[in-house]
Amino acid sequence: MKNLKYYGLLLATLAVVAAVNMGCESTETTESAITVTVEPAGGVLVGRNATATLTASIMIADSNSTESLVLPLEWNVSEGSLGAITKSGGLSAVYVSNGREGANTISVKDRIGRKGVAAVTQVKPAPAAKTATP
């Protein structure tokens, strides 16, 4: 009799688990199929006040999906001593160099945490050519 109760309880538990799992299917795009891209992904800025306009977009492995970035976007720089995001709105932002040499990573994150990155390398302008005076 004990075994019959045990197997009955086990069978009832399995039936509940199966019923719950039946309602858990999703038609949403998996996060692993989504990539946030930033254009341009990299570049070189020369001198002080050089700018780069960056635009974020979403790439989805399943072309039938209608996913989009969730605004507002949050833009950040890894090295604030090299430059800053001076303006942002919608899917774009403007990065401005302060003239120091170095590499900076600019990251973007949408409202639900999906992230993308771009990189800039900053260099000083080449020295002006000296002209000889007679």
Classify domain 31-123 by CATH number: 2.60.40.10
pLDDT band at 95; cut points 50, 70, 90: very high
pTM (2 d.p.): 0.71
Could you give the 3-state DSSP secondary structure of residue 54?
strand
pLDDT given at position 46: 98
Amino acid, res. 58: I
Task: Round to whole Å and give the CA distance between 114 and 83.
Answer: 23
